[in-house]
Amino acid sequence: MTQLIWLRSDLRTSDNTALASAMAAGPTVAVYLITPGQWLAHDDAACKVDFWLRNLVELAGRLQALNVPLLIRDVEEWQAAPDALLKLCQELAVQRLHYNGEYGVNEQRRDQAVAARLRAAGIDVRRYLDQLLFAPGSVLTQSGGYFKVFGQFRRACLARLSMSLPACVAPPAPQHPMTVASDVPPDEVRGFDRPSDYLRTLWPAGETFAQHRLAAFIGDDLHQYHQRRDLPAEPGTSQLSAYLAAGVISIRQCLHAAVASNRGELDSGSAGATTWINELLWREFYKHILVGYPRVSMHRAFRAETEALPWRRATDELQAWQEGRTGFPIIDAAMRQLRETGWMHNRLRMVTAMFLSKNLLIDWREGERWFMRHLIDGDLAANNGGWQWSASTGTDSVPYFRLFNPISQSQRFDPDGQFLRRWLPELQGLGKREIHNPSTQRSLFGKADYPAPIIDLGESRARALDAFRNLPDVRP
């Protein structure tokens, strides 16, 4: 029986549950759907789409070594996926479709529509757990609900992982060659500009590179991760998020590498290893939230009462934030890093998000959308979860009265101003004290090449606290 694997956010051949299962069942063909209209509707970044295409090229070579043809089909949106896949199944006499699960509301509806259409035509459909360690709905509170607090979710996951780690899937052996000819992945997709060569060099494609990056991080940086992860000027993070989001590497591979380096321990031993394992579980947590509380996939706040917040429509301030012209160096440097590299340091994601949603009191959804349009590692669950955490509208969110001060955050995590000088060359001449707050150095006529702060921090803090205090059911 001919098998068809539908590739999505799982662009690898190693530890790919659906691929291994398909190839174990019979001669296998792979398909990838190009859906530009859907990607635009989901605010997917041009650099992320380019990253997908480059990884498809690498994946095509690995599939060729397994004698698995890769077919590319173009449809505008996911509504066309059932017809496109049914047509392909009929052309190839496919008996079974395999795919790994995805968890946003639109993704689940798409998969349900595809499964219904194919099963009605007598084609079997198999869905697999691959993107996560645990199936959503399998890690629940004692009352049978989804966890709302990460610490409790983490303890439940660690208890299960301590009994056994989810095994990585054995790599499939090459199958007999098929007569189906492979398609060549496109170089670009309509509606998405090609990113700069500089950005592309920062993110080489392919699971071989992803595995090398994982090995280098585990060997060189893992055990200092807890000390260096908050320092944006240092390469203290794994920078695997883009590869995890596209499925070029699996969470199981990452977890096994971390545990092996930590002598089999999950929650003791190396502080760096346990901290990074916690970060993997944060990604897991936010995926479970998508399923348990689907409203977060639909541009709604997790905490319903915060929908009444009096968000400001401050177009000029929003644009200044987007373009890195706020007059607060750590904010501006982070936003410039995002635009030029397709990535932002995680500490700075929190700082910039809190500045927009609290100091500027601009709807967190504006920031969530902007990040998705620029992040090479853009992921609905992680991006939404992070934004709602920072804005105090989400699950397990920071208390509303906690606001990061961008000046003190800069002084604490970039004390010498090394990161600021990298992205704000106009401030090169300032000392390591003055660079965090250039407004203190202004002459009577100002500093022509760097803007004055667009807000007063004290006044903006008071405004945000008043807005939250006036909501129903909000307590300190």
- Closest C-alpha to 130, from 255, 256, 251, 290: 251
Amino acid at 381: A
Amino acid symbol at 225: Y
Q: Is 321 annotated as a binding residue?
A: no
- 134 assigned to a ligand binding site: no
Is 280 labelled a binding residue?
Answer: yes
The reply to whether 364 belongs to the active site is yes
Bridge partners of residue 397, in order along the sequence: none
284 labeled part of a ligand binding site: yes
Which of 387, 405, 423, 437 is an active site residue?
A: 387
CA dist 14 and 383 (Å) reads 26
- Phi and psi dihedrals of 125, rounded to 5? -130, 130
Question: Is residue 261 part of an annotated ligand binding site?
Answer: no
Q: Cα(13)–Cα(418) distance, rounded to whole angstroms?
A: 40
Residue 326's nearest CA partner among 434, 439, 417, 416 is 439
DSSP per residue, 195-226: PPHHHHHHS--SHHHHHHHHHHHHHHTGGGHH
- 370 is an active site residue: no
320, 451 contact by CB (below 8 A): yes
Question: Catalytic: 39?
Answer: no
Respond yes or no: is residue 265 known to be catalytic. no
Q: Is 378 annotated as a binding residue?
A: yes
Is 286 annotated to bind a ligand? Reply is: yes
Catalytic-role residue among 67, 346, 426, 434 = 346
Catalytic residue among 364, 370, 389, 423: 364
| 51 is annotated as contributing to ligand binding | no
* 78 has catalytic annotation: no
Is residue 76 part of the annotated active site? The answer reads no
One-letter identity of residue 210 = A
Q: Which of 77, 234, 265, 279 is catalytic?
A: 279
Catalytic annotation, pick one of 39, 78, 203, 282? 282
Cβ atoms 232, 348 nearer than 8 A:
yes
Q: Is 276 annotated as a binding residue?
A: yes
332 is in an annotated binding site: no
Query: 52, 311, 321, 343: which is the annotated catalytic residue?
Result: 311
Is 225 marked within a binding site?
yes
Is 238 marked as binding a ligand? yes
The response to whether 285 counts as a known ligand-binding position is yes
Nearest CA-CA partner of 234 in 221, 215, 244, 247: 221
Annotated binding residue 240: yes
> Helices H, strands E: what count in the chain?
20, 5
Q: Which residue numbers belong to the known binding site?
A: 225, 237-241, 276, 279-286, 377-379
Q: Which residues are catalytic?
A: 279, 282, 311, 346, 364, 387
Q: Which residue numbers belong to the known binding site for FAD?
A: 225, 237-241, 276, 279-286, 377-379
